Amino acid sequence: MFAVHLLAFYFTKLKEDQIKKVDRFLYHMHLSDDVLLDVMTRFQAEMVKGLERDAHPTAAVKMLPTFVRSIPDGSEKGDFLALDLGGSKFRVLKVKVSEDGKQNVQMESQFYPTPKEITLGNGTELFDYVADCLADFMETKNIKHKKFPLGFTFSFPCIQTKLEEGVLLSWTKYFKVRGVQETDVTSSLRHALRKHKDVDVDVLALVNDTVGTMMTCGYDDQRCEVGVIIGTGTNACYMEEMSNIDLVEGDEGRMCINTEWGAFGDDGSLDDLRTEFDREIDLGSINPGKQLFEKMISGLYLGELVRLILLKMAKKGLLFNGKISAALRTKDKIETKHVAAMEKHKEGLQNTKEILMELGLTPSEEDCIAVQHVCTIVSFRSANLCAAALAAILTRLRENKKLIRLRTTVGIDGTLYKTHPQYPKRLHKVVRRLVPNCDVRFLLSESGSGKGAAMVTAVACRLVSQRKQIDEILASFELSKENLIEVKNKMRGELEYGLKKETHATATVKMLPTYVCGTPDGTEKGKFLALDLGGTNFRVLLVKIRSGRRKSVRMYNKIFAIPLEIMQGTGEELFDHIVQCIAEFLEYMGIKGARLPLGFTFSFPCRQASIDKGALVEWTKGFKATDCEGEDVVDMLREAIKRRNEFDLDIVAVVNDTVGTMMTCGYEDPNCEIGFIAGTGSNVCYMEEMKNIEIMEVTEGKMCINTEWGGFGDNGCIDSIRTKYDKEVDEGSLNPGKQRYEKMTSGMYLGEIVRQILIDLTKHGLLFRGQISESLRTRGIFETKFLSHIESDRLALLQVRRILQQLGLDSTCDDSIIVKEVCGAVSKRAAQLCGAGLAAIVEKKRENSNLEHLKITVGVDGTLYKLHPHFSGILRETVKEMAPQCDVTFMLSEDGSGKGAALITAVAKRLHNVGEN
Ligand code: BG6
Ligand code: BG6
Ligand code: GLC
Ligand code: GLC
């Protein structure tokens, strides 16, 4: 009895001695909770660094955006292929996700070897090999004839700018393939796949194994927002708030960040904790100086760490009686699976003995106990370090959510975690101790990262199909060169119709004579009043023109509002309102008594019988006052002045805004013989040879023709390029069926086209979460200035989003991108159409003057031309392409049409006076 006790005592003592000996030898590897809390704090700082724009380039922990934005929500479905490369095993999988009420995932997979020639070869060989394995898998499963979306789990650090692309930052673990670093791995894969004519896959997603794991676990537990790998390598990902990710635009929602925590310490921040063994491991690795945290933790290195320690202890005579075998001196002879076996609860000691003997050693009982304890210290340190970093992530998640307690799930995978008998328990325990305010569930990923990659691919697949729908809609706004040539030719034909006697009356492009027969010559002078009605603003102006050497124009003006009920009330009300504004202006300027000559810019189609007579043909744009169409607007103005009976004016000229603009610019540049408005409405005037204007008797000289090209297409001649949205805009307008070209090209309608497209996209669930808001239903929300803002290149996405919010459209950043694209497609088409139309006009002028080459200036005005960032550029380009024999200068009218109207009035007045005398 006594002997038994003695033996037990002896044995316990012996064990204690061994443990103490090892503890003393490896005291540096023991990490107290204080140290771990310190590591945790350091890692928190590293995360912040990696996320910040300025600090990111030099940050050791890269915090890579993954473009995975949500955990699976169960609505994923379809058949997918997945590749899983970079862990201990390379796998090809087919994943079937169905959504038949209950979630259901079926997987078939096959492992393929990754020989050293591949992991240490060159890039082409690697991707060819991967493609060959995929082809083989499809062959065996008999699925070669079908097209599949594919998710690529690639367990290395990649810089992603989209889900389906990733540039390898550096190889880690046991891979070192030449010519892959700093290249996009998905395009290499695609390239290799193209060699297999019978394989048709679409690589839609590139995911890190941590992300795959998080998604795999997230499919079963929606709370899962962290993915951890403790396998060949070690790493973690988690869901970060978009607003904290500087590298990706946008601030709503979350995105998964691949921390690449394996590189923690690469900047020296863990040097105080690294031991001589860690330094030795690093020096002997294929990536010295890199992945220093990983090298203290993961499966690829644990066995070797143990071997180096044993070797040193033996050398010091602390083990094996100082005897060292050749195997013990050989790199990688102890693997992680051996460490796991030696630490097994019951058979651990026996395993240790066998393993050591296999290494050619003859261990004593004491040796085995000591070696087992070495393993424990090494693997315990590994779990401790992982726990500290994970605790930092959990704390960050909790703080992001501003919670006192966080309840969350960590999806976890990797051979070390799965096969080491003590590892999970130790890890969980330390994490819970370090972050007592987090309730963590550790969920082992049963089916690897492949399933998660398929989930990510499923979401990507849905996005791709949505993108296709958007592209199709936008494609209907694209005009080919042939389309534009056709527009130019048709416009040219319509111009001729309008000029011909037999067709003039029914022509859609009205070609209205303006009785303006020349551009100003600098001799104009005097004081004039001008009215400017029909654009964005209604203005009354006083214009003082000086001629001769001190030639100048001075203007004073006041903008007045015309309320909607007046624009669309009775004619009398409209003209009374105008006269009311004039009265206020005269009062304001203190010139009520003076009977000044007045030029009336009236930006609507008028049939003129002289310079001071103009019968309104029909209202366009936003005006619809009754009893005006067919009436002479000068008479209506005179009558309103009479009705008011307060002052008198000498109305000398009625002028279209295009004509006013041409004159304004013509005053500076005599070569300006075309006036173009791209504003609320769209129109052009130009100087035409009298002999071509068949409805005029005179055949000498020139006269300005107001084309009223806005009506182009009213006979259906451009219906083939009109979209259903154009038709909707037309139907909802004040003048359905009229001004079809204007409705595709001018400021008043572009926003409406955009709105119709957005409504359609929303109906299809492609925008605004499928919700058509009250504002989206509101006509006219997208004024030209908003379109112009949205399309500005200087604007960040967030600013676009803010503009949309201002308009009452609660959009995500993805929505904002789409809205911007829609605006771009619509305004580009408008600029191209105007360009084709203008080309027809300059070509006509060139032919009129029988010139090989024509040099001409176009005077331009209008909010669309002036405010929109791209309109004028595209317009100019199109004119150049469509009328290569014309050298067209665009001259922006700085002073509006009012100045031109005053100049016309001055000329008319002079001629009138000459006539009277
Ligand atoms: C697996 C994944 O489940 O875990 C792999 O599918 C991943 O892609 C692996 O790399 C990590 O473990 P190990 O031990 O194989 O590196
Ligand atoms: C202005 C003219 O400069 O341009 C207006 O003075 C004209 O009369 C206008 O109608 C066109 O632009 P918008 O964008 O105001 O319709
Ligand atoms: C390495 C890789 C990382 C991967 C991890 C686990 O650390 O760099 O991307 O997630 O191993 O496999
Ligand atoms: C409308 C009018 C036209 C005007 C143009 C630009 O098209 O009908 O007269 O020139 O708008 O304001």
Report the percentage of the chain scoring pLDDT > 90: 84
Arithmetic mean of pLDDT, 92-118: 88
pLDDT at 738: 97
Average the pLDDT over each of 183-192, 540-549, 700-709 and give the range with the smallest value. 540-549
Please name the residue whose Cα sits nearest to atom 9 of ligand 4.
Answer: 604
Which ligand 3 atom is at minimum distance from the Cα of 229?
Answer: 6
pLDDT at 376: 97
Average the pLDDT over each of 79-88, 505-514, 544-553, 855-864 and give the range with the smallest value. 544-553
Please name the residue whose Cα sits nearest to atom 3 of ligand 1.
Answer: 448
Q: Does 680 contact ligand 2 (Cβ within 6 A)?
A: yes
Give the C-alpha distances (Å, rounded to integers) separating 639 from 160, 572, 575, 618, 634.
71, 9, 9, 20, 9
- DSSP H/E element including 910: helix 896-916
Residue listed under structure tokens 């919010």: 805
CA distance 531 to 634: 12
pLDDT at 676: 98
pLDDT at 104: 80
Separation of CA 670 and ligand 3 centre (Å): 72
Arithmetic mean of pLDDT, 694-702: 91
Strand, helix or coil for residue 636: helix
Please name the residue whose Cα sits nearest to atom 8 of ligand 3.
Answer: 156
Tell whether the model's pLDDT for residue 914 goes beyond 80: no
CA distance 594 to 652: 15
Which ligand 4 atom is at minimum distance from the Cα of 658?
Answer: 10
The answer to whether 603 is a known catalytic residue is yes
pLDDT at 725: 98
Arithmetic mean of pLDDT, 832-838: 98
CA distance 308 to 638: 106
Label the pairing between strands 512-513 and 702-706.
antiparallel
Tens digit of each residue's pLDDT (9 = 90 or more) over 514-536: 999 987 777 888 999 999 999 88
Q: Which ligand is nearest to the CA of 537?
A: 2
Average the pLDDT over each of 165-179, 180-194, 533-547, 704-718 and give the range with the smallest value. 533-547
The beta-strand segments (E) located in 629-737 are 650-655, 672-678, 682-689, 702-706
Q: Residues 634, 651: contact at Cβ < 8 Å?
A: yes
pLDDT at 1: 59
Q: Name the average pLDDT for the chain.
A: 94
Separation of CA 209 and ligand 1 centre (Å): 7
pLDDT at 73: 67
Tens digit of each residue's pLDDT (9 = 90 or more) over 779-792: 999 998 899 999 99
Residues whose CB is less than 8 angstroms from the CB of residue 570 and which lie 6 or more positions away in sequence, other chains included: 625, 626, 627
CA distance 639 to 447: 87
Please name the residue whose Cα sits nearest to atom 5 of ligand 2.
Answer: 535
Separation of CA 365 and ligand 2 centre (Å): 99
276 C-beta neighbours (distance < 10 Å), count: 11
Q: What burial class does residue 240 get, using C-beta atoms within 10 Å of its C-beta: 0-12 exposed, 13-18 middle, 19+ buried?
A: buried
Tell whether the model's pLDDT for residue 133 goes beyond 90: yes
Please name the residue whose Cα sits nearest to atom 9 of ligand 3.
Answer: 156
Q: What burial class does residue 565 get, using C-beta atoms within 10 Å of its C-beta: 0-12 exposed, 13-18 middle, 19+ buried?
A: exposed
Tell whether the model's pLDDT for residue 398 goes beyond 70: yes
What confidence category does residue 333 fall into, taking pLDDT thresholds of 50, 70 and 90? very high
Give the pair of three-digit tokens for residue 686.
Answer: 């130009």
C-alpha 356 chain-centroid distance = 59
CA distance 908 to 597: 10
Arithmetic mean of pLDDT, 660-681: 95
Q: Residues 776, 762: contact at Cβ < 8 Å?
A: yes
CA distance 307 to 231: 19
CA distance 838 to 845: 11
pLDDT at 637: 97
Strand, helix or coil for residue 240: strand
Q: Which residues pair with 334 in a beta bridge?
A: none
Separation of CA 414 and ligand 2 centre (Å): 69
Please measure the distance between the N-terminal and C-terminal CA atoms of the chain and give it in whole angstroms.
150
Q: Residues 545, 614: contact at Cβ < 8 Å?
A: no
Q: Residues 238, 257: contact at Cβ < 8 Å?
A: yes
468 C-beta neighbours (distance < 10 Å), count: 10
Tens digit of each residue's pLDDT (9 = 90 or more) over 707-723: 999 999 999 999 999 99
Q: Furthest-apart CA pair in the chain: how many Å? A: 150
Arithmetic mean of pLDDT, 729-757: 97
Residues whose CB is less than 8 angstroms from the CB of residue 354 and which lie 6 or more positions away in sequence, other chains included: none
Catalytic residue (one of 269, 603, 682, 746): 603
Mutation test residue for ligand 1: of 209, 210, 302, the one with most atoms within 8 Å of CB: 209
Q: Does 612 contact ligand 1 (Cβ within 6 A)?
A: no
Q: Does 657 contact ligand 4 (Cβ within 6 A)?
A: yes
CA distance 838 to 816: 33
Arithmetic mean of pLDDT, 813-835: 94
Nearest to 843 by CA among 876, 877, 887, 875: 887
Catalytic residue (one of 128, 576, 612, 657): 657
Nearest to 388 by CA among 284, 276, 502, 269: 269
Tell whether the model's pLDDT for residue 260 goes beyond 60: yes
Average the pLDDT over each of 256-270, 664-678, 724-738, 805-819 and give the range with the smallest value. 805-819
C-alpha 815 chain-centroid distance = 9
Separation of CA 483 and ligand 4 centre (Å): 24
Nearest to 678 by CA among 753, 745, 726, 604: 745
Tell whether the model's pLDDT for residue 622 goes beyond 80: yes
Label the pairing between strands 597-602 and 886-892.
unpaired
- Dihedral over Cα of 168, 172, 174, 179: its sign: positive
What confidence category does residue 103 fall into, taking pLDDT thresholds of 50, 70 and 90? low
Q: Residues 214, 256: contact at Cβ < 8 Å?
A: yes
- Kindly report the backbone phi and psi dihedral angles of residue 408, in degrees, each rounded to the nearest multiple of 5, phi listed first: -155, 170
Q: Which residues of 767-778 are buried (b: 16+ CB within 10 A; e: fewer)?
A: bbeeeeeeebee
pLDDT at 102: 64
The beta-strand segments (E) located in 327-457 are 406-413, 438-444
Mutation test residue for ligand 4: of 509, 516, 664, 683, the one with most atoms within 8 Å of CB: 683
Strand, helix or coil for residue 362: coil
Which residue ranges have their beta carbon within 6 Å of ligand 3? 86-87, 155-157, 172-173, 208-210, 229, 231-235, 260, 262, 294
Separation of CA 89 and ligand 1 centre (Å): 7
Give the pair of three-digit tokens for residue 549.
Answer: 């050497």
Q: Does 123 contact ligand 2 (Cβ within 6 A)?
A: no
Give the pair of three-digit tokens for residue 29.
Answer: 């590897």
Separation of CA 271 and ligand 1 centre (Å): 28
Label the pairing between strands 650-655 and 597-602.
parallel
CA distance 258 to 62: 8
Which ligand 2 atom is at minimum distance from the Cα of 747?
Answer: 14
- Residue type at 190 in one-letter notation: R
The answer to whether 539 is a known catalytic residue is yes
CA distance 508 to 492: 12
CA distance 625 to 603: 14
pLDDT at 799: 85
Which ligand 4 atom is at minimum distance from the Cα of 677?
Answer: 6
Label the pairing between strands 526-533 and 538-546.
antiparallel
81 C-beta neighbours (distance < 10 Å), count: 27
Give the C-alpha distances (Å, rounded to integers) separating 237 from 350, 410, 509, 565.
38, 10, 64, 60
DSSP states of 264-332 as a string?
Answer: TTTTSTTTTT--HHHHHHHHTSSSTTS-HHHHHHSHHHHHHHHHHHHHHHHHTTSSGGG---TTTTSTT
Please name the residue whose Cα sits nearest to atom 5 of ligand 4.
Answer: 681
- DSSP H/E element including 728: helix 724-731
Q: Does 532 contact ligand 4 (Cβ within 6 A)?
A: no
Q: Does 710 contact ligand 4 (Cβ within 6 A)?
A: yes
What confidence category does residue 916 fall into, taking pLDDT thresholds of 50, 70 and 90? low
Residue listed under structure tokens 């060989």: 125
Arithmetic mean of pLDDT, 370-375: 97
Q: Which ligand is nearest to the CA of 445?
A: 1
Give the count of alpha carbons within 13 A of 118, CB side only: 15
Nearest to 254 by CA among 42, 150, 396: 396
What confidence category does residue 34 fall into, taking pLDDT thresholds of 50, 70 and 90? very high
Instruction: Strand 854-861: give its sheet, edge to edge.
Output: 512-513, 702-706, 682-689, 672-678, 854-861, 886-892
Residue with the bigger pLDDT between 593 and 215: it is 215
Supply angle C-alpha 234, 237, 238, rounded to 5: 150
Separation of CA 687 and ligand 2 centre (Å): 20
H helix and E strand count, the chain: 30, 26
Residues whose CB is less than 8 angstroms from the CB of residue 316 and which lie 6 or more positions away in sequence, other chains included: 322
pLDDT at 464: 82
Tell whether the model's pLDDT for residue 101 goes beyond 80: no
Residue with the bigger pLDDT between 313 and 222: it is 313
Which ligand 1 atom is at minimum distance from the Cα of 416?
Answer: 14
Residue listed under structure tokens 């003129």: 608
Tens digit of each residue's pLDDT (9 = 90 or more) over 487-508: 999 999 999 999 999 999 999 9
Residues whose CB is less than 8 angstroms from the CB of residue 111 and which lie 6 or more positions away in sequence, other chains included: 89, 90, 91
Mutation test residue for ligand 1: of 89, 107, 172, 382, the one with most atoms within 8 Å of CB: 89
**28: DSSP letter:** G
DSSP states of 124-152 as a string?
Answer: HHHHHHHHHHHHHHHHHTT-TTSEEEEEE
Separation of CA 860 and ligand 2 centre (Å): 10
Q: Does 657 contact ligand 2 (Cβ within 6 A)?
A: yes
Mutation test residue for ligand 2: of 786, 861, 872, 894, the one with most atoms within 8 Å of CB: 861
DSSP states of 229-272 as a string?
Answer: EESSSEEEEEEEEGGG-TTSS--SSEEEEE--GGGTTTTSTTTT
Give the pair of three-digit tokens for residue 879.
Answer: 């004119």
Q: Does 745 contact ligand 4 (Cβ within 6 A)?
A: no
Catalytic residue (one of 539, 722, 740, 829): 539
CA distance 877 to 832: 8
Separation of CA 775 and ligand 4 centre (Å): 28
Mutation test residue for ligand 4: of 532, 539, 603, the one with most atoms within 8 Å of CB: 603
CA distance 356 to 370: 12
